[in-house]
């Protein structure tokens, strides 16, 4: 369904013209008032435009919109346009309160200094007492990637965080699952909250790849922290473990009990598990580029099945996709089961004959 941008603009204009605007965690619109926070403002927009909520979450917050924007959008200032949603999230989410922030861009960015831009937005903040049209400042690196934001001009602090944006009226991707509409998998699996203590470090070439399984992981656990890049600053989290097979790897046993063999990692210690989302070759390069990852204790899985990720070559019979590794580590078989219809749909789009011709050398090839 195409959406008229004139309708979007007139809706925003009408809400801004209402005489009563307040900041509220419970959003509502009446004849003379609008009450919302930043996430509530975008929820109202999605309702007006009849768009699906991110990952079928009934009351999505800023972190949920960010989670979709990260999959379908851009982090470049050069691609930021009026009508785009722009968001960032907190790495460690609080039990209540703000999970991040989301705004609607209403004008082209203006360069005001070296890698420093000013852009007009509409959002809802407590400081502005609800919905308002105003300005924020964005900061970029030398490659035009947005790396920081100053939410209010009177503030001195620049918040450093991954920031993504996308046209609210884009029609290629589904807002409900962050996948191309041709392979939409909305409502395949019920979302769960909170997410396990897992962090995914994703190689840039995996983002927006049609065959990426991270979007499927987010459908199950929408608040999973995913960081894109090849080099990363050390995470400020306690008890970090890296899921990566090596001669020194321990067995990952999420349900192990105290008193068991010392070569098991216990769930009771509440570790944060780091997964690398990349080809095996690129994953090894990421490990090499990040010396802090090498210092972490490594853990490995011992799956009792061969990968069902049929469209990528696996190095050995225990090689799993990121989704399968996440599912095994989290002991969530329902998540693993989402891979089969996903693969079947891609093979159908590719053509069964082409799959049989090009993938028969794979260890997990299935002649079906």
Give ranges for CATH 3.90.1720 in the chain.
5-167
Helix pair angle (5-17, 38-49), 10° resolution? 140
Task: Give whole-number Cα distances, 114 to 81, 154, 168, in Å.
Answer: 20, 19, 28
Dihedral angle computed from the Cα positions of residues 302, 305, 310 and 313, in that order, rounded to the nearest 10 degrees: 40
The token pair that represents 130 in the structure block: 């609800």
Any residues with CB less than 8 A from the CB of 331 and at least 6 apart, and which?
A: 254, 255
Q: Reduced to 3 states, what is the DSSP secondary structure of residue 49?
A: helix
pLDDT by residue for the chain (368 residues), tens only, comes to: 566 789 999 999 999 999 999 999 999 999 999 999 999 999 999 999 999 999 989 999 999 999 999 999 999 999 999 999 999 999 999 988 899 999 999 999 999 999 999 999 999 999 999 999 999 999 999 999 999 999 998 899 999 999 999 999 999 999 999 998 988 888 778 899 899 999 999 999 988 777 788 999 999 999 999 999 999 999 999 899 999 987 778 888 765 432 233 333 444 458 999 999 998 889 999 999 999 999 999 999 988 878 877 777 776 656 788 999 999 999 999 999 988 888 888 888 888 888 888 877 776 767 65
Check if CATH label 1.10.760 holds for domain 5-167: no
The token pair that represents 51 in the structure block: 């768009």
According to DSSP H, which parts of 164-236 are helical?
Answer: 214-220
| pTM of structure | 0.90
């Amino acid at each position: 369904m195409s959406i008229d941008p004139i309708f979007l603009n007139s809706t925003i204009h009408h809400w801004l013209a209402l005489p009563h605007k307040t900041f509220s965690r419970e959003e509502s619109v009446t004849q003379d008032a609008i009450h919302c926070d930043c996430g509530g403002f975008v929820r109202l927009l999605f309702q007006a435009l009849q768009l699906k909520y991110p990952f079928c979450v009934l009351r999505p917050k800023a972190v949920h919109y960010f989670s979709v924007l990260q999959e379908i959008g851009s982090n470049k200032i050069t691609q930021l346009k009026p009508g785009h949603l722009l968001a960032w999230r907190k790495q460690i989410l609080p039990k209540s309160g703000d999970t991040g922030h989301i705004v609607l861009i209403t004008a082209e960015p203006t360069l005001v200094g070296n890698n420093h831009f000013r852009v007009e937005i509409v959002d809802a903040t407590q400081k502005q007492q609800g919905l308002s049209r105003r300005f924020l400042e964005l900061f970029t690196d030398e490659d035009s990637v947005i790396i920081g934001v100053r939410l209010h001009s009177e503030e001195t602090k620049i918040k450093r965080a991954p920031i993504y944006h996308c046209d609210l009226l884009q029609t290629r991707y589904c807002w409900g699952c962050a996948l191309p509409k041709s392979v939409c998998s909305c409502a395949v699996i019920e979302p769960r909250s909170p997410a396990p203590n897992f962090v995914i470090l994703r190689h840039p070439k995996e983002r927006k790849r049609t065959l990426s399984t991270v979007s499927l992981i987010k459908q199950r656990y929408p608040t999973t922290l995913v960081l894109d890049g090849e080099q990363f600053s050390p995470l400020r989290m306690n008890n970090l473990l890296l899921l990566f097979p090596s001669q020194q790897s321990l067995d990952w046993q999420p349900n192990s009990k105290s008193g068991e063999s010392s070569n098991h990692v216990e769930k009771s210690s509440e570790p944060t598990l780091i997964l690398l989302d990349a080809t095996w070759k690129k994953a090894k390069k990421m490990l090499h580029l990040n010396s802090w990852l090498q210092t972490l204790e490594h853990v490995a899985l011992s799956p009792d099945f061969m990968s069902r990720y049929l469209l990528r070559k696996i190095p050995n019979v225990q090689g799993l996709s990121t989704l399968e590794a996440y599912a095994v580590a989290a002991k969530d078989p329902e998540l693993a089961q989402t891979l089969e219809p996903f693969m079947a749909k891609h093979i159908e789009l590719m053509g069964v004959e082409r799959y049989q011709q090009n993938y028969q050398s794979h260890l997990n090839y299935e002649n079906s």
